[in-house]
Amino acid sequence: MCGIIGYAGHRDAGTVMMAGLKRMEYRGYDSAGLAVVGDRLEVRKAAGKLANLERQLQTHPIGEAHLGIGHTRWATHGGPTDANAHPHLGPAGRVALVHNGIIENADALRAELAGAEFRSETDSEVAAHLLERAVVGGRTLVEAMREVVARLEGTFTLVAIDANTPGTVVAARRNSPLVIGVGDGERFLASDVASFIEYTREAVELGQDQIVEITATTHTVTGFDGTPGTTRAYHIDWDLAAAEKGGYDWFMRKEIFEQPKAVADTLLGRITARGELALDETRIDPAQLRLVDKIVVVACGTAYHAGLIAKYAIEHWTRLPVEVEIASEFRYRDPVITPTTLVVTISQSGETADTLMATRHAREQHAKVISICNTNGATIPRESDAVIYTHAGPEIGVASTKGFTTQLIACYLLGLYLAQVRGTKFGDEIAELVEELEALPAKMQAVLDDLGLTLTLARDLLREPVYLFLGRHVGYPVALEGALKLKEIAYVHAEGFAAGELKHGPIALVENRLPVFIVVPPRGRDQLHDKVVSNIQEVRARGARTIVLAEAGDDEAAAFADTYLPLPSVPTLFQPVLAILPLQVFACEVASQKGYDVDQPRNLAKSVTVE
Ligand code: AGP
The residue whose CB lies within 8 Å of the most ligand 1 atoms, and thus the one to mutate among 348, 357, 395, is 348
- Phi, psi for residue 149 in degrees, rounded to 5: -65, -25
Instruction: Identify each DSSP E strand in 166-293 by its residue range.
Output: 169-174, 179-183, 186-190, 202-205, 210-214, 219-223, 232-235
154 or 57: which carries more pLDDT confidence?
A: 57
Kindly report, as residue ranges, where domains of CATH 3.40.50.10490 are found in the chain: 266-438, 448-593
Residue 240 pLDDT:
74
Residue 600 to residue 399: CA distance in whole angstroms: 8
- Whether the pLDDT of residue 75 is over 90: the answer is no
The closest of 349, 444, 447 to 390, measured between CA atoms, is 349
Confidence of residue 1 (pLDDT cuts 50, 70, 90): low
- Whether the pLDDT of residue 311 is over 70: the answer is yes
Residue 115 pLDDT:
86
Percent of the chain residues topping a pLDDT of 90: 81
Q: Specify whether the CB–CB gap between 200 and 182 falls below 8 A.
A: yes
How confident is the model over 103-114, as pLDDT tens digits? 989 999 999 998
Q: Is 607 in the pocket of ligand 1 (CB under 6 A)?
A: yes
**510-521 as b/e, with b when 16 or more CB fall inside 10 Å?**
beeebbbbbbbb
Residue 427 to residue 409: CA distance in whole angstroms: 19
Nearest protein Cα to ligand 1, atom 6: 301
Q: What angle do CA 121, 78, 254 make, to 5 degrees?
A: 135
- Output the CA 594–ligand 1 centroid distance in Å: 23
Mean pLDDT for all residues in the chain = 94
For 266-438, CATH gives 3.40.50.10490
- Output the CA 512–ligand 1 centroid distance in Å: 34
- Whether the pLDDT of residue 275 is over 80: the answer is no
Residue 184 to residue 169: CA distance in whole angstroms: 17
The closest of 322, 6, 315 to 161, measured between CA atoms, is 6
Mean of pLDDT values over 72-99: 93
Q: For the domain with range 448-593, which CATH number is right: 3.40.50.10490, 3.40.50.150, 3.40.50.1000, 3.30.830.10?
A: 3.40.50.10490
Q: Alpha helices of 338-426 — where are they, by DSSP H?
A: 353-364, 379-382, 402-422
Gyration radius of the chain over CA positions: 25
How confident is the model over 344-386, as pLDDT tens digits? 999 999 989 899 999 999 999 999 999 999 987 788 998 999 9
Q: Is 490 in the pocket of ligand 1 (CB under 6 A)?
A: no
How confident is the model over 183-211, as pLDDT tens digits? 999 999 998 888 999 999 999 988 889 99
Residues facing 230 on adjacent strands: none
Residue 216 to residue 68: CA distance in whole angstroms: 11
HEC-encoded secondary structure of 415-443: HHHHHHHHCCCCHHHHHHHHHHHHCHHHH
Kindly report, as residue ranges, where domains of CATH 3.60.20.10 are found in the chain: 3-243
Q: What angle do CA 70, 265, 103 make, to 5 degrees?
A: 55
Residue 244 pLDDT:
76
**323 burial type by CB count under 10 A (0-12 exposed, 13-18 middle, 19+ buried):** middle
Helix (H) / strand (E) element for 582: namely: helix 575-593
Residue 559 to residue 564: CA distance in whole angstroms: 9
Residue 549 pLDDT:
98
The closest of 566, 558, 508 to 537, measured between CA atoms, is 558
Give the 3-state secondary structure of residue 462. Answer: coil
The closest of 262, 449, 481 to 374, measured between CA atoms, is 262
How confident is the model over 508-529, as pLDDT tens digits? 999 999 999 999 999 986 689 9
Class of domain 3-243: alpha beta
The closest of 427, 390, 393 to 409, measured between CA atoms, is 390
The residue whose CB lies within 8 Å of the most ligand 1 atoms, and thus the one to mutate among 300, 346, 357, 484, is 300
Half-sphere exposure in the Cβ direction for 501 (13 Å, CA): 14
Residue 572 to residue 561: CA distance in whole angstroms: 20
Residue 500 to residue 531: CA distance in whole angstroms: 8
Confidence of residue 2 (pLDDT cuts 50, 70, 90): confident
How confident is the model over 223-251, as pLDDT tens digits? 999 999 988 888 887 777 777 788 899 99
237 or 259: which carries more pLDDT confidence?
A: 259
Give the residue numbers marked as catalytic. 2, 606
Q: Is 300 in the pocket of ligand 1 (CB under 6 A)?
A: yes
- Whether the pLDDT of residue 432 is over 70: the answer is yes
- Whether the pLDDT of residue 281 is over 90: the answer is no
